[in-house]
Each structure stands twice: as C-alpha cells, then as structure tokens.
C-alpha cells in the first residue's frame, strides 16, 4: 500500500473564475505549448485556390445576376441559381458578403467554398426596418415568416414547464445588432432582452427601441439541405458535399442538413458518403447547427457556437472525424428536461474519432456525447473546460478510448452510463469528477423504444479501465473525485466491479483535509445496505480489492507546482512532479491514438514529458 502524503497547500492557487485565461477568437485559436506540435483550433485564415473539380465552377455573389452563367468572378450568378444547376463534380465559389437566403436543396456531390480570402456568410434572417411604437418600452412589426414549434413528445411538461415555458420551443429568432433575444410568453413579459410572437396576427413585439439599431428576424428555416430524393430534375448521387470557408448563422432550425432525417434502427449514412467541412463557422441557431447521416464525414478547424439542442448531431454514420474545432455555448435557450449536447454522436455510429478539439463554456449543456449503440469511438487530446453537465458522456455504447484529454472545471469530466469497455488512460482532470454508473435500463423497452437494445445488456456494463490519470481538486470542490455507482437493488445481480483495471492514477487535493474531509471515491458494488462505500484514500480501496489501486497515489495539502504554467494552460508536469510517477505501461493502441511512439515511457496525466 502506498503511504498517503500530507503537506502544505500550493501557494497562490488560482481560483476558479480566474482560470478562464485562454481566449479563443471566433476566427482561430492557438493553444500554447500543450503538445509538441502547435494546435490551432477553429477556422484558419486562408486564401483558397479555385477548387480542383472535374465539372463546372459557378461563381456567385449576394447581388449576383440570376441570368448570368456565373462563369467568372466578375459576372457571378445567384447562389439559388447555381444550386439549381450543379451536378456531381461541380463547384460553387462564393464571393464575400451576406447572403440572406435559405432552404437551398441539392442532391449532388459538389464543392461549396469561399472565393480566395473573402468571407461569405449565409444568414437566415431578413432586416425588419418597419416598427410601430405601441407604448413605452414596446414596439411591434408585422412579420410573415414565422416558425411555431413545440417540444418532442417525450418531453415531460409537468416536470419542466416551470423552468422551460412552451414558447421557448418555437423556432423564431430575433437579433438586435447581432445579439439574440430570448422569447417571452406575452407582451407583458417583454423587456429589452426578450421578444414576443403573436402567431395569430403575425406580429413580433420587442422591448428595445429599434431606432438606430439593426433588427433581424428569422425568415428561412434551413440554410442548406443535401437531400436523398430527386430535386432540380436530378436523381441523387451518393457523394457528400465539401464546404470550405463558409459561415452559417441565424437560422431557426437545422442550419446544414446532410442526408435523411429519420432515426430508424436500420438507417445508416451510406446514402451520402464523404461530407467535409473545413474552416467553417456555425453560430446563433435555435435547433441544430449541423445534422448528418453521412459515413466518412470530416469536420476540421470549424467553429460551432451559440447553438441550442445540438451543435453537431451525427447519426448512424461510420468513420467520422471531428478535429481541431471549437464547440462553445450550446443550449442558448436553456431548455430543461431535454438532452442538449454540443456534439452528439448517436445510434450505431462506429469508429467515430473526436480529436484535438476545444470544448468550452457550456453552462446549460453537455460537451461531447456518444449515445446509443456506438462502437469503437476515440475521444483523444481534447481540451474541455467549463461544462456544467458532462464534458464527455458515453451512454449505452461499447468500446471507446478516452485518452490525453484535459478537463477543467466541469461538473463531470467523464460520465460513462450503461456502457462497456471504456479505456480511460492518461487524462488530466482539474475540478472535474468522473462518474461511472449502471442501472437496469434495458430490462424493458423505455421511453425511446428500441434504442436501449443497441448497447450492452444490463449484465454487460463493465470491463472499464482507469489508468495513469491525474485528478486534482481545489478547496472550491469537495466532491468525490470518482464515483462508481449502481442502485442498491442491483447489488446481488451486479456484484462485480465496473472496472477490469483501476490503477496507477494520482489524486491530489490542494488543501488540508484533516477532519471532515470529502471522500476520494464512492464505490459500488459493496456488501452493505446501500451497496456503496466511501473510500477516503486509494489505499482503502486496495484493502477492499487488492487487484485495484496498489500503485495509485493520493495526496492532500500538496506543496509544489504540478504544471509548468497552469495560468496559460500549459499542463505539462513540472520536473518536480514528474518524480511522483506511478505510471504503468501504456498499451500500443492507446499510444497510437495519442500520436506517441511505441517506445514512449509511461507517464501520468495528459502530456508526455
């Protein structure tokens, strides 16, 4: 058993609110020296050459001429006309400016990209410039483009309407000088930050004086829909579109929709293969920014922020890669009783890789969520910060690798629920607990019917590995660092641990925990009435289960610097802390996804020395 170390607190530890030092612009972000190679998150400034395509290139602009052939940048056509003309292998090149358009449908494998270094923006609103003053603090305009909607049929109205009134589920959006307003339930509730829609009389009310301001209201449901049915006189091919350097903003529904829309048990993304997004921006959306049923989808160096239900929603799609993107501020309408996530990978998506992304500032949302029937996922080398729910969530799925990630100030860094074979290696968690849990869901079909049948059965939700991780709690957080839970009524039925391997981890608290100290671990199953035991040191777990925690280290009141420069998000370990190294062998498949040589010496946390 390892001795428990108790020393003085780290001097000058930075409080939670002061940790928000990494600023990422909405164009690009470079994270300082965290890896050997500089990581650039979000869109990269580019001057694009003309796309290398086999077909015709159409040039378009916001003020293009629909009668023009669009064969030169100087004589562009409209984007609507180009969309109607393109066939597989063609490209549409967008001149800079704002395209107030939407509901553009096509079914061909085409390229849509920016012209050189210009900034094309597809915007789902029109400017509302005619307002009547009704009374002090209330103005109204007539508006024909309305998008009434409601919650999903499984939403529990009785439980949630107090927190999420029904009008929040309507899809309209109102923007004042680019800032979205929240909806109100009546004109009596309208103030400077809200609006009300009178659907019966097609009127919109706001509480801010529109004089001298730009008021935009949603007018197009979607930006682009790559459909599976005939359109514009053409049958669909099976090639996914390519998007480069495009901004999509201010749409009420799904902004970019690739493939079908159903969630059937046998529906997969093979009808549209190879969709790609590079250096794109998705913002200010009231449902889903990008929905895709598309095998081999790639999203790289894109920025997805101010979204609502989901930022990116991938369904039944194999071999997906999300890399070096920014995912920020999902669930802007603060829905409750829903399941918001900035990224959701759903329904039998196999071999999805989420690598080197920045997932941050989700006050009302999960970060990245694998949900239902997924296999062989990889979540690696991501930076996840300030997520109020779970930074990473793996549910009713099997076989995933979670490695090399930094989680900072998340309610839960990692939540594994009713899943199996989660290999959790070499992560760094700061004020971000881990939750591994199983229950009896799946004994009967539930609210979502067949969904629960796609993952491991109730008796199969185990075999997780938790190795070489570094977990740190400050005095601001008295939560257990790790919880392995199940209901007491399952204690006899599920009497083996959640983990097959639990060892070589380092747990640190930055304060003196003599007296009523918080537990280090909440552990189930355990042979008592609650089926759960609190362990206060790693040694106590080892006494209960000798196969676990023999080489874990627990320290409180530590008196040294752990990181090279936590102020600037450099989470490499100091030379002093590297000496505290109980790390075990890192399997070859983990080293491969981390991008490390097979001869790499074992180490603790997310960064190799």
- What is the 3-state secondary structure of 156-219? CHHHHCCCCCHHHHCCCCEEECCEECEECCCHHHCCCCEEEEECCCCEEEECCCCCCCCEEEEC
Q: Is 531 exposed, middle or buried (0-12, 13-18, 19+ CB in 10 A)?
A: buried
Sign of torsion over alpha carbons 80, 86, 92, 95: negative
> Which segment of 72-86, 186-200, 315-329, 507-521 scores lowest on mean pLDDT?
507-521
- Tell me if 180 sits within 8 A of 174, measured CB to CB: yes
Per-residue tokens: 531? 């089926």
pLDDT at 6: 30
Spell out a b/e string for 87-125, using b for 16 or more CB atoms within 10 Å of the CB, else e: ebebbbbbbeeebbbbebebbbbbbbbbbeebbbbbbbb
| H/E segment holding residue 592 | helix 588-594
Q: Give the bridge partners for 503, in sequence order.
A: 467
**How many alpha carbons fall within 13 Å on the CB side of residue 327?**
38
Digit-coded pLDDT (tens) for 165-222: 999 999 999 999 999 999 999 999 999 999 999 999 999 999 999 999 999 999 999 9
Question: How does DSSP assign 417-432, residue by residue?
Answer: ES-EEEEEES-EEES-
User: What's the rounded mean pLDDT across residues 54-70?
Assistant: 98
- Predicted confidence at residue 293, as pLDDT, reads 94
**Residue 454, pLDDT score:** 85
Is the previous residue joined to 525 through a cis bond, with omega within 30 degrees of 0? Answer: yes
Contact 156, 169 (CB under 8 A): no
Cα separation, 74 vs 64, whole angstroms: 10
Rounded-to-integer distance, Cα 125 and Cα 132, Å: 20
Give the model confidence (pLDDT) of 357-415 as tens digits. 999 999 999 999 999 999 999 999 999 999 999 999 999 999 999 999 999 999 999 99
| pLDDT tens-digit series, residues 427-478 | 999 999 999 999 999 887 766 667 778 899 999 999 999 999 999 998 777 7
Q: What is the distance between the alpha carbons of residues 449 and 298, in angstroms, rounded to a whole number?
A: 30
Cα distance between residue 570 and residue 562, in whole Å: 11
- Split at pLDDT 50, 70, 90, the class of 513 is low
Average pLDDT on 116-144 reads 98
Q: What is the pLDDT of residue 566?
A: 86
Average the pLDDT over 582-601 and give the result. 95
| Integer Rg of the chain from CA | 26
544 compared with 12, residue with greater pLDDT: 544
Residue 593 — left, alpha, or beta (φ > 0 → left; ψ -120 to 50 → alpha)?
A: alpha
Residue recorded with tokens 């109205």: 157
Which domains occur in the chain, in start order?
125-218 (2.60.40.1180)
Whether residue 153 is predicted with pLDDT greater than 90 in this model: the reply is no
How far, in Å, CA of 335 to CA of 548, rounded?
Answer: 41
Across residues 407-427, what is the average pLDDT? 97
pLDDT at 264: 58
DSSP structural state of residue 221: S
pLDDT at 447: 62
Residue 268 reports pLDDT greater than 90: no
Mean pLDDT over residues 134-155, rounded? 95
Query: CA 190, CA 212: separation in Å to the nearest integer?
Result: 20
Task: For residues 471 and 457, give the distance between their C-alpha atoms in angstroms, rounded to a whole number.
Answer: 30
Low-confidence winner among 100-109, 321-330, 401-410, 509-518 (lowest mean pLDDT)? 509-518
User: Residue written as tokens 């793996």?
Assistant: 394
| pLDDT score recorded for residue 443 | 83
Give the confidence band of 244 by pLDDT, cuts at 50, 70, 90: very high
Which pLDDT does position 263 carry in this prediction?
61
CA–CA gap between residue 506 and residue 276 (Å, rounded): 40
pLDDT in the model for residue 439: 95
**Residue 515 to residue 510: CA distance in whole angstroms:** 15
Q: pLDDT: is 317 or 15 the higher one?
A: 317
Closest among 523, 442, 42, 65 to 245, alpha carbons compared: 42
**Which residue is listed with tokens 């991780």?**
469
The secondary structure of residue 32, as a DSSP letter, is -
- Residue 27 reports pLDDT greater than 60: no
For residue 183 the two structure tokens come to 């909806």
Distance CA 101, CA 222 (A): 9
Query: Lowest mean pLDDT: which of 9-23, 279-293, 323-337?
Result: 9-23
pLDDT at 474: 82
The answer to whether the beta carbons of residues 384 and 57 sit under 8 Å apart is: no
Residue 136 CB partners (closer than 8 Å, separation 6+): none
**Other beta carbons less than 10 A from residue 266's beta carbon:** 7
Query: Rounded distance, CA 379 to CA 368, Å?
Result: 9
Spatial CA neighbour of 120 closest among 290, 245, 283: 245
The 3-class secondary structure across 328-352, one letter per residue, is ECCCCCCCCCCCCEEEEEECCCECC
Percent of the chain with pLDDT over 70: 91
Spatial distance between the Cα atoms of 402 and 384, rounded to a whole number of angstroms = 12
Mean pLDDT over residues 228-252, rounded? 97
Closest CA relative to residue 143, chosen from 274, 267, 252: 252
pTM of this structure? 0.92
Residue 20 has pLDDT above 50, yes or no: no
Closest CA to 447 of 22, 60, 154, 130: 154
**Mean pLDDT throughout 247-258?**
97
Q: Is the pLDDT of residue 21 over 50?
A: no
The pair of structure tokens assigned to 72 is 């030169």
**Considering only CA atoms, which of 366, 349, 369, 337 is closest in space to residue 292?**
349
pLDDT of residue 18 exceeding 60, the answer is no
SS3 271: helix
DSSP, collapsed to helix, strand or coil, labels residue 482 as strand
């Amino acid at each position: 058993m390892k001795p428990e170390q108790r020393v003085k607190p780290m001097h000058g530890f930075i409080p939670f609110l002061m940790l928000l030092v990494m600023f990422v612009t909405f164009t690009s972000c470079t994270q300082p020296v965290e890896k050997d190679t500089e990581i650039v998150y979000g869109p990269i400034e580019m001057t694009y050459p003309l796309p290398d395509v086999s077909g015709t290139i159409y040039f378009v602009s916001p003020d293009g001429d629909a009668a023009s052939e669009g064969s030169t940048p100087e004589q562009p056509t409209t984007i609507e006309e180009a969309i109607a003309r393109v066939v597989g292998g063609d490209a549409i090149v967008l001149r800079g400016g704002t395209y107030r358009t939407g509901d553009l449908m096509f079914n061909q494998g085409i390229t849509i990209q920016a012209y050189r270094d210009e900034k094309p923006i597809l915007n789902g609103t029109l400017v509302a410039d005619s307002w009547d003053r009704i009374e002090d603090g209330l103005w109204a305009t007539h508006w024909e483009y309305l998008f009434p909607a409601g919650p999903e049929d499984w939403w529990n109205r009785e439980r949630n309407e107090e927190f999420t009134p029904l009008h929040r589920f309507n899809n309209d959006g109102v923007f004042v000088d680019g800032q979205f307003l929240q909806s109100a339930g009546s004109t009596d509730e309208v103030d400077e930050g809200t609006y009300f829609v009178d659907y019966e009389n097609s009127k919109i009310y706001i509480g801010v004086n529109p004089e001298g301001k730009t008021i935009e209201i949603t007018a197009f449901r979607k930006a682009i829909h790559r459909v599976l049915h005939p359109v514009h006189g053409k049958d669909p091919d099976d090639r996914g579109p390519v998007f480069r350097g495009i901004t999509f903003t201010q749409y009420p529904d799904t902004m970019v929709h690739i493939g079908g829309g159903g969630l059937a048990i046998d529906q997969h993304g093979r009808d549209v293969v190879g969709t790609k997004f590079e250096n794109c921006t998705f913002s200010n959306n009231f449902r889903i920014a990008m929905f895709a049923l598309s095998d081999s989808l790639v999203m790289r160096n894109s920025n997805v922020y101010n979204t609502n239900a989901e930022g990116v929603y991938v369904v039944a799609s194999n071999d997906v890669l999300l890399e070096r993107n920014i995912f920020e501020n999902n669930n802007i309408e603060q829905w409750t009783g829903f399941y918001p996530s900035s990224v959701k990978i759903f329904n039998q998506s196999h071999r999805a890789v989420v690598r080197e992304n920045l997932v941050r500032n989700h006050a009302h949302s999960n970060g990245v969520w694998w949900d239902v029937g997924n296999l062989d996922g990889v979540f690696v080398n991501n930076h996840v910060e300030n997520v109020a729910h779970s930074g990473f969530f793996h549910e009713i799925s099997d076989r995933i690798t979670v490695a090399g990630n930094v989680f900072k100030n998340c309610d839960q860094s990692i939540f594994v629920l009713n899943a199996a074979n989660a290999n959790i290696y070499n992560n760094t968690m700061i004020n971000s607990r881990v939750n591994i849990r199983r229950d009896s869901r799946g004994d009967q079909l539930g609210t979502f019917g067949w969904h629960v049948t796609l993952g491991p059965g109730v008796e199969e939700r185990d075999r997780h590995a938790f190795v070489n991780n570094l977990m740190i709690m400050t005095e601001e957080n008295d939560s257990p660092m790790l919880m392995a839970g199940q209901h007491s009524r399952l204690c006899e039925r599920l009497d083996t641990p959640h983990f097959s391997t639990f060892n070589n981890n380092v747990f640190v608290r930055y304060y003196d925990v003599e007296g009523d100290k918080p537990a280090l671990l909440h552990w189930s199953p355990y042979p008592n009435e609650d089926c759960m035991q609190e362990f206060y040191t790693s040694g106590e777990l080892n006494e209960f289960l000798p196969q676990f925690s023999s080489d874990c280290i627990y320290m409180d009141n530590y008196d040294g610097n752990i990181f090279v420069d936590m102020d600037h998000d450099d989470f490499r370990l100091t030379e002093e802390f590297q000496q505290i190294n109980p790390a075990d062998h890192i399997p070859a498949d983990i080293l491969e996804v981390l991008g490390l040589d097979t001869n790499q010496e074992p180490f603790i946390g997310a960064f190799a020395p």
